[in-house]
Amino acid sequence: MSEVKAKKWFGQNFLKDSSVLEKIIQSMPHNDNIVVEIGPGLGDLTKRLLHKKDVIAFEIDKDLCNILQKKFKKEIEEKKLLLNCGDVLRFWENSLVDKPYDLVANLPYYVATNIILKALRDKNCKNILVMLQKEVAQKFAAKNGDKEFSSLAVLANSTGKVKKLFDVKPSSFEPPPKVTSSVLLIKKSTYLDERGFEDFLKVAFLATRKTLLKNLSKKYDKKELEKIFAQLNLLPNIRPHQATTSIYHRLYEILEKRKVDGEKPEPQSKPTTKE
Protein backbone atom coordinates (compact mmCIF):
# COMPACT_ATOMS: atom_id res chain seq x y z
CA MET A 1 0.00 0.00 0.00
CA SER A 2 1.92 3.00 -1.25
CA GLU A 3 -0.28 5.93 -0.16
CA VAL A 4 -0.25 5.55 3.62
CA LYS A 5 0.72 3.03 6.31
CA ALA A 6 -2.33 1.26 7.81
CA LYS A 7 -3.02 2.10 11.47
CA LYS A 8 -4.03 -1.09 13.27
CA TRP A 9 -5.61 0.75 16.20
CA PHE A 10 -8.15 2.34 13.83
CA GLY A 11 -9.07 -1.08 12.39
CA GLN A 12 -7.60 -0.21 8.99
CA ASN A 13 -7.85 -3.10 6.52
CA PHE A 14 -8.40 -1.62 3.11
CA LEU A 15 -10.61 -3.56 0.72
CA LYS A 16 -8.72 -3.88 -2.55
CA ASP A 17 -10.62 -6.69 -4.31
CA SER A 18 -12.68 -4.97 -7.00
CA SER A 19 -15.06 -7.94 -7.41
CA VAL A 20 -15.99 -7.69 -3.71
CA LEU A 21 -16.39 -3.92 -3.97
CA GLU A 22 -18.71 -4.46 -6.94
CA LYS A 23 -20.70 -7.12 -5.05
CA ILE A 24 -21.30 -4.66 -2.22
CA ILE A 25 -22.56 -2.05 -4.69
CA GLN A 26 -24.83 -4.66 -6.34
CA SER A 27 -26.30 -5.50 -2.90
CA MET A 28 -27.37 -1.92 -2.15
CA PRO A 29 -31.11 -1.47 -1.62
CA HIS A 30 -32.84 0.46 -4.44
CA ASN A 31 -34.31 3.70 -3.09
CA ASP A 32 -33.75 7.47 -2.93
CA ASN A 33 -31.96 7.51 0.41
CA ILE A 34 -28.53 9.10 0.64
CA VAL A 35 -25.62 6.90 1.69
CA VAL A 36 -23.65 7.23 4.90
CA GLU A 37 -20.21 5.63 4.84
CA ILE A 38 -18.31 5.13 8.09
CA GLY A 39 -14.55 4.86 7.58
CA PRO A 40 -14.02 5.63 3.87
CA GLY A 41 -10.31 4.92 4.32
CA LEU A 42 -8.56 5.37 0.97
CA GLY A 43 -11.88 5.88 -0.81
CA ASP A 44 -12.17 2.73 -2.97
CA LEU A 45 -15.74 2.01 -1.86
CA THR A 46 -16.55 5.75 -1.69
CA LYS A 47 -15.66 6.18 -5.36
CA ARG A 48 -18.12 3.45 -6.37
CA LEU A 49 -20.82 4.71 -4.00
CA LEU A 50 -20.54 8.19 -5.54
CA HIS A 51 -21.40 6.74 -8.95
CA LYS A 52 -24.77 5.76 -7.46
CA LYS A 53 -25.64 8.25 -4.72
CA ASP A 54 -24.66 11.32 -2.71
CA VAL A 55 -22.52 10.30 0.25
CA ILE A 56 -21.94 11.59 3.77
CA ALA A 57 -18.73 10.07 5.13
CA PHE A 58 -17.06 9.97 8.56
CA GLU A 59 -13.33 9.25 8.83
CA ILE A 60 -11.43 9.35 12.12
CA ASP A 61 -7.89 9.36 10.70
CA LYS A 62 -6.60 12.87 9.87
CA ASP A 63 -4.01 11.56 7.38
CA LEU A 64 -6.71 9.67 5.46
CA CYS A 65 -9.00 12.70 5.63
CA ASN A 66 -6.31 14.82 3.92
CA ILE A 67 -5.93 12.19 1.20
CA LEU A 68 -9.71 11.95 0.72
CA GLN A 69 -10.08 15.74 0.56
CA LYS A 70 -7.63 15.82 -2.36
CA LYS A 71 -8.94 12.68 -4.07
CA PHE A 72 -12.58 13.84 -3.98
CA LYS A 73 -12.02 17.61 -4.34
CA LYS A 74 -14.50 17.85 -7.21
CA GLU A 75 -17.24 15.78 -5.52
CA ILE A 76 -16.82 17.78 -2.30
CA GLU A 77 -17.11 21.07 -4.21
CA GLU A 78 -20.18 19.77 -6.04
CA LYS A 79 -21.64 18.76 -2.64
CA LYS A 80 -22.01 15.16 -3.76
CA LEU A 81 -19.70 14.17 -0.91
CA LEU A 82 -19.79 15.60 2.59
CA LEU A 83 -16.66 14.46 4.42
CA ASN A 84 -16.66 14.66 8.22
CA CYS A 85 -13.26 14.21 9.84
CA GLY A 86 -13.44 12.73 13.34
CA ASP A 87 -14.77 9.83 15.39
CA VAL A 88 -18.24 8.94 14.04
CA LEU A 89 -19.45 8.20 17.59
CA ARG A 90 -18.89 11.85 18.50
CA PHE A 91 -21.21 12.96 15.71
CA TRP A 92 -23.96 10.48 16.66
CA GLU A 93 -26.72 12.04 18.73
CA ASN A 94 -30.13 10.39 18.27
CA SER A 95 -29.63 10.41 14.50
CA LEU A 96 -26.30 10.53 12.72
CA VAL A 97 -27.71 12.68 9.90
CA ASP A 98 -30.99 14.56 9.63
CA LYS A 99 -32.52 12.75 6.63
CA PRO A 100 -33.26 9.14 5.64
CA TYR A 101 -30.06 7.26 4.89
CA ASP A 102 -28.63 3.82 4.19
CA LEU A 103 -25.42 2.90 5.98
CA VAL A 104 -23.00 1.25 3.54
CA ALA A 105 -19.53 0.57 4.92
CA ASN A 106 -16.59 -1.68 5.44
CA LEU A 107 -16.63 -1.10 9.17
CA PRO A 108 -13.68 -0.80 11.56
CA TYR A 109 -14.10 -4.17 13.33
CA TYR A 110 -13.14 -2.98 16.84
CA VAL A 111 -16.29 -0.82 16.99
CA ALA A 112 -18.58 -2.61 14.49
CA THR A 113 -21.12 -4.00 17.01
CA ASN A 114 -21.48 -0.62 18.68
CA ILE A 115 -21.98 1.12 15.31
CA ILE A 116 -24.64 -1.40 14.21
CA LEU A 117 -26.55 -1.03 17.49
CA LYS A 118 -26.50 2.74 17.09
CA ALA A 119 -27.76 2.38 13.51
CA LEU A 120 -30.58 0.06 14.70
CA ARG A 121 -31.66 2.75 17.18
CA ASP A 122 -31.38 5.55 14.61
CA LYS A 123 -34.78 6.51 13.19
CA ASN A 124 -33.23 7.98 10.02
CA CYS A 125 -31.18 4.90 9.22
CA LYS A 126 -33.29 2.82 6.84
CA ASN A 127 -30.92 0.05 5.78
CA ILE A 128 -27.57 -1.30 6.93
CA LEU A 129 -25.17 -2.93 4.45
CA VAL A 130 -21.86 -3.52 6.18
CA MET A 131 -18.77 -5.66 6.15
CA LEU A 132 -17.60 -6.93 9.51
CA GLN A 133 -16.00 -9.96 11.18
CA LYS A 134 -17.81 -13.15 10.11
CA GLU A 135 -18.51 -14.35 13.68
CA VAL A 136 -20.17 -11.05 14.57
CA ALA A 137 -22.21 -11.03 11.34
CA GLN A 138 -23.43 -14.55 12.25
CA LYS A 139 -24.55 -13.33 15.66
CA PHE A 140 -26.71 -10.64 14.07
CA ALA A 141 -28.07 -12.92 11.33
CA ALA A 142 -28.72 -16.08 13.38
CA LYS A 143 -32.23 -17.58 13.47
CA ASN A 144 -33.81 -18.77 16.69
CA GLY A 145 -32.71 -22.33 17.37
CA ASP A 146 -29.19 -21.65 15.95
CA LYS A 147 -26.61 -21.82 18.68
CA GLU A 148 -25.35 -18.32 17.72
CA PHE A 149 -28.83 -16.81 18.26
CA SER A 150 -28.15 -13.96 20.67
CA SER A 151 -29.52 -10.67 21.93
CA LEU A 152 -27.91 -9.05 18.85
CA ALA A 153 -30.07 -11.23 16.57
CA VAL A 154 -33.21 -10.41 18.57
CA LEU A 155 -32.45 -6.68 18.31
CA ALA A 156 -31.71 -6.83 14.57
CA ASN A 157 -34.81 -8.99 13.94
CA SER A 158 -36.91 -6.51 15.89
CA THR A 159 -36.15 -3.81 13.33
CA GLY A 160 -36.55 -5.75 10.07
CA LYS A 161 -35.10 -8.44 7.82
CA VAL A 162 -31.54 -9.60 8.47
CA LYS A 163 -29.30 -11.59 6.13
CA LYS A 164 -25.64 -12.50 5.94
CA LEU A 165 -25.00 -12.09 2.21
CA PHE A 166 -21.50 -13.46 1.53
CA ASP A 167 -18.07 -14.08 3.07
CA VAL A 168 -14.87 -12.28 2.14
CA LYS A 169 -11.46 -13.83 2.57
CA PRO A 170 -8.57 -12.00 4.28
CA SER A 171 -6.55 -11.80 1.03
CA SER A 172 -9.11 -9.33 -0.37
CA PHE A 173 -7.73 -6.68 2.02
CA GLU A 174 -4.52 -4.76 2.51
CA PRO A 175 -3.18 -5.52 5.05
CA PRO A 176 -5.14 -8.80 5.39
CA PRO A 177 -7.07 -9.11 8.68
CA LYS A 178 -6.61 -12.23 10.84
CA VAL A 179 -10.27 -13.22 10.41
CA THR A 180 -12.75 -13.97 7.64
CA SER A 181 -15.23 -11.16 6.99
CA SER A 182 -18.88 -11.16 5.93
CA VAL A 183 -21.25 -8.68 4.39
CA LEU A 184 -24.44 -8.23 6.39
CA LEU A 185 -27.70 -6.65 5.21
CA ILE A 186 -30.38 -5.38 7.58
CA LYS A 187 -33.47 -4.01 5.82
CA LYS A 188 -35.09 -1.95 8.53
CA SER A 189 -38.79 -1.31 8.75
CA THR A 190 -38.66 0.20 12.23
CA TYR A 191 -36.08 1.20 14.85
CA LEU A 192 -35.22 0.31 18.44
CA ASP A 193 -36.65 2.87 20.81
CA GLU A 194 -36.64 1.03 24.14
CA ARG A 195 -33.35 0.76 25.98
CA GLY A 196 -35.33 -1.19 28.61
CA PHE A 197 -35.80 -3.99 26.07
CA GLU A 198 -32.06 -4.11 25.41
CA ASP A 199 -31.38 -4.34 29.17
CA PHE A 200 -34.02 -7.07 29.48
CA LEU A 201 -32.23 -9.11 26.78
CA LYS A 202 -28.95 -8.82 28.67
CA VAL A 203 -30.62 -10.64 31.58
CA ALA A 204 -32.31 -13.20 29.29
CA PHE A 205 -28.99 -14.11 27.62
CA LEU A 206 -26.89 -13.83 30.80
CA ALA A 207 -25.69 -17.44 30.59
CA THR A 208 -26.39 -19.07 27.24
CA ARG A 209 -26.05 -22.63 28.55
CA LYS A 210 -28.56 -22.08 31.36
CA THR A 211 -32.31 -22.07 30.84
CA LEU A 212 -34.10 -18.85 29.98
CA LEU A 213 -36.14 -19.27 33.18
CA LYS A 214 -33.00 -19.48 35.30
CA ASN A 215 -31.48 -16.39 33.67
CA LEU A 216 -34.66 -14.36 34.07
CA SER A 217 -35.05 -15.45 37.69
CA LYS A 218 -31.92 -13.38 38.47
CA LYS A 219 -34.17 -10.37 38.11
CA TYR A 220 -37.79 -11.58 38.31
CA ASP A 221 -39.75 -13.76 40.73
CA LYS A 222 -39.41 -17.45 39.76
CA LYS A 223 -42.98 -18.45 40.61
CA GLU A 224 -44.30 -15.55 38.59
CA LEU A 225 -42.05 -16.53 35.67
CA GLU A 226 -43.29 -20.13 35.78
CA LYS A 227 -46.87 -18.89 35.53
CA ILE A 228 -46.04 -16.61 32.58
CA PHE A 229 -44.12 -19.39 30.81
CA ALA A 230 -47.14 -21.70 31.14
CA GLN A 231 -49.45 -18.94 29.90
CA LEU A 232 -47.24 -18.50 26.79
CA ASN A 233 -46.88 -22.27 26.26
CA LEU A 234 -43.12 -22.05 26.84
CA LEU A 235 -41.36 -25.12 28.18
CA PRO A 236 -39.63 -24.36 31.49
CA ASN A 237 -36.35 -25.80 30.17
CA ILE A 238 -36.21 -23.66 27.01
CA ARG A 239 -32.72 -22.14 26.43
CA PRO A 240 -32.22 -18.48 25.53
CA HIS A 241 -31.30 -19.26 21.89
CA GLN A 242 -34.51 -21.28 21.37
CA ALA A 243 -37.07 -18.56 22.06
CA THR A 244 -38.26 -16.39 19.16
CA THR A 245 -37.97 -12.63 18.84
CA SER A 246 -41.73 -12.23 19.34
CA ILE A 247 -41.57 -14.33 22.53
CA TYR A 248 -38.92 -11.95 23.87
CA HIS A 249 -41.19 -9.01 23.14
CA ARG A 250 -44.13 -10.72 24.87
CA LEU A 251 -42.07 -11.58 27.92
CA TYR A 252 -40.68 -8.05 28.14
CA GLU A 253 -44.13 -6.59 27.81
CA ILE A 254 -45.57 -8.80 30.54
CA LEU A 255 -42.65 -8.45 32.94
CA GLU A 256 -41.74 -4.80 32.50
CA LYS A 257 -44.76 -3.02 31.05
CA ARG A 258 -47.05 -4.42 33.73
CA LYS A 259 -44.78 -2.87 36.34
CA VAL A 260 -45.07 0.53 34.72
CA ASP A 261 -48.74 0.37 33.84
CA GLY A 262 -49.86 -1.53 36.93
CA GLU A 263 -52.22 -3.63 34.87
CA LYS A 264 -52.27 -6.85 32.90
CA PRO A 265 -51.26 -6.48 29.24
CA GLU A 266 -53.54 -7.52 26.42
CA PRO A 267 -52.72 -11.09 25.32
CA GLN A 268 -52.14 -10.14 21.64
CA SER A 269 -50.44 -6.73 21.93
CA LYS A 270 -47.67 -5.79 19.50
CA PRO A 271 -43.87 -5.72 19.94
CA THR A 272 -42.49 -2.72 21.76
CA THR A 273 -40.66 -1.16 18.83
CA LYS A 274 -42.28 1.50 16.66
CA GLU A 275 -43.65 0.82 13.20
H, E, C per residue of 164-181: EEEEECHHHEECCCCCCE
Judge whether 106 and 115 are in contact, CB under 8 Å. Answer: no
Give least dist CB 38 to ligand SAM, A: 5
Give least dist CB 174 to ligand SAM, A: 8
Q: Is 76 in the site for ligand SAM (CB under 6 A)?
A: no
What CA dihedral angle connects 59, 61, 67 and 69, to 10 degrees?
40
Q: Is 65 in the site for ligand SAM (CB under 6 A)?
A: no
**Count of residues engaged in binding ligand SAM, rule: CB under 6 A:** 24
Q: Is 40 in the site for ligand SAM (CB under 6 A)?
A: yes
For the chain, what's the residue count? 275
Contact residue for ligand SAM among 71, 92, 96, 108 (CB under 6 A):
108
Q: Is 59 in the site for ligand SAM (CB under 6 A)?
A: yes
81-84: long-range pairs with CB below 8 Å, 24+: 81/46, 81/50, 81/54, 81/55, 81/56, 81/57, 82/54, 82/55, 82/56, 82/57, 83/40, 83/57, 83/59, 84/56, 84/57, 84/58, 84/59
Q: Which is nearer to ligand SAM, 8 or 161 (CB)?
A: 8
Q: Is 92 in the site for ligand SAM (CB under 6 A)?
A: no
> What's the CA gap between 92 and 114, in Å, rounded?
12
Q: Is 106 in the site for ligand SAM (CB under 6 A)?
A: yes
- Site map for ligand SAM, 194-233, x if CB under 6 A? ----------------------------------------
> What's the CA gap between 116 and 205, in Å, rounded?
19
Q: Is 119 in the site for ligand SAM (CB under 6 A)?
A: no
Q: How far does Cα 173 stand from its chain's mean position?
A: 22
Q: Which is nearer to ligand SAM, 88 or 156 (CB)?
A: 88
Q: Is 60 in the site for ligand SAM (CB under 6 A)?
A: yes
Q: Is 240 in the site for ligand SAM (CB under 6 A)?
A: no
Contacts with ligand SAM by CB under 6 A lie at 10-15, 38-42, 44-45, 58-61, 64, 87-89, 106, 108, 111
